[in-house]
Structure 1
Amino acid sequence: MSASGQDSRAVIYLRVSTDEGKQTEENQRRELREFVEDEGYELAGEYVDHESGRKGRNEREAFDRMFEAAESREFDVLVFWSLDRFSREGIRKTIAYLQQLDSLSVGFRSYTEPYLNTDDELVSHILLSVLSYFAEYEAKKISRRTKAGIERAREEGKQIGRPSKFDEHKGEITKMIEEGASKAEMSRETGLAWGTVDRYVDRIKSE
């Protein structure tokens, strides 16, 4: 993927938080425009969000429109201020976005992080491979932490996950058994099928 030089269309994606003010937005916009011009790109559009970078594509209007334009091949290169301005959804999600751009033959460049530059095809493949490795590494770390947390909870006797339907209705059915209610009455009261009530009653009596 090579998108450098003349005739390459670039768009700017800019995300600024609401507390940074208009001045910050205009300063960054001006510098990104100058960067696009200095690199010899044709400026094909600008997308500005004032949403948190932790919000997903569907929750950031400009971000979503930018991807729709990429899918329609309306530009060749995406230029953003920095990776954390592009997305703060976590490394796996962020890299998935970058890989999606790559699959659409759209390059990307970070104004403040020169190494994030896919103009060179070889560099692009190496960069995405390295980023993918870190995404996988992060996923494995999260998985290990999750498993360790579940195991610790089990050792402490805590219930993992949602209670079963039997556990949810056990107390109510037990009380109705003690009150002499019929299985039909139990079914009506709990909203469970008669056959389910029948199984639960047998299970409770066998405990």
Structure 2
Amino acid sequence: MRVALYARVSTADKDQNPENQLVLLRREAERAGDTIIKEYVDEKSGGSSNRKAFQELMRDAGKRRFDLVRVFALDRFSSEGIEKVFEHTAALEQAGVQFWSYCEPQLNTTGPVASLFKAIISWAADYRNQRHSENVRLGQARKRAEVAAAGEEYQHGCRPTDVDIVAKVKRLGAEALSQRKISEATAYRSARSTAT
């Protein structure tokens, strides 16, 4: 099997060396008869996906340059929280790339519990989509209430072009409003931008 190895240490962890992780991952790859395609190493906090080697790993996974990603531990792969870990592993799964953790074999997408972990990944992705949809609905409901309280009619999505925009600007200017307030009062804001 073609494999990629991913190792990460935080910049704050001066005593850590990614080689400690890579030695174990190379040994496991050799034991399994894998061919190591590339080793990806970040020396940066795992609290963000904005890591050079991590981004390269995910791009290469999308191009199917390897079949399996081996990491030392989930928190070395990402420490953004379990939802983001599931999101990243789901992206690998969609690309046809399996995931394997040295410290958490029960969460590998290979082996006897693979189907269970894949089901969890799928559930997490679905849950995230539901949360996003609910946030959009809540934002629209809040906007409707605000517009109704102002005595106006709520427009979902793009509102019609205001043919009297010049007159409205003049009227607001006569009320001694600042340019910023006038701009806010006349600018288009989509319903989507009101989501929480």
Q: If the TM-score is normalised by the length of the shorter chain, which range does it land in?
A: 0.5 to 0.7
For structure 2, the residue ranges without an aligned partner over 5 or more in a row are 136-145, 151-169, 187-196
Which residue identity lines up with residue 59 of structure 2 in the other structure? E
Determine if the alignment matches structure 1 residue 83 to structure 2 residue 74: yes
Q: Which residue of 1 aligns with 2:89?
A: 98
The answer to whether the Cα contact below 8 Å between 1:92 and 1:139 also exists between their aligned partners in 2 is no
Matches within 5 A, 1:26-175: 26-56=19-49, 59-120=50-111, 123-133=113-123
What's the Cα RMSD here?
A: 3.7
Q: Which residue of 2 aligns with 1:15?
A: 8
What displacement does 1:93 show?
1.7
Q: Percent identity at matched positions?
A: 34
The answer to whether the Cα contact below 8 Å between 2:62 and 2:95 also exists between their aligned partners in 1 is yes
CA distance in structure 2 between the partners assigned to 1:185 and 1:74 by the alignment: 60
What displacement does 1:113 show?
1.2
* Residues 184 and 103 of structure 1, relative CA distance in 2, 3 Å threshold: closer
What displacement does 1:139 show?
9.4
Alignment length, in residue pairs?
155
* Residues 27 and 137 of structure 1, relative CA distance in 2, 3 Å threshold: same
Q: Deviations over 1:73-104 (max 9, x none)?
A: 11000000111111122222211111111111
The answer to whether the Cα contact below 8 Å between 1:80 and 1:111 also exists between their aligned partners in 2 is yes
TM-score (norm 1): 0.61
Q: Deviations over 1:28-86 (max 9, x none)?
A: 11111111111111011011111211112xx1110000011111111000000111111
CA distance in structure 1 between the partners assigned to 2:172 and 2:88 by the alignment: 55
TM-score (norm 2): 0.64
Please say which structure displays the higher CA radius of gyration. 1
Q: Deviations over 1:103-157 (max 9, x none)?
A: 111011001111122224x73222121344467779999xxxx9xxxxxxxxxxx
Determine if the alignment matches structure 1 residue 25 to structure 2 residue 25: no
* Residues 100 and 135 of structure 1, relative CA distance in 2, 3 Å threshold: closer
For structure 1, the residue ranges without an aligned partner over 5 or more in a row are 1-7, 147-162, 168-181, 197-207
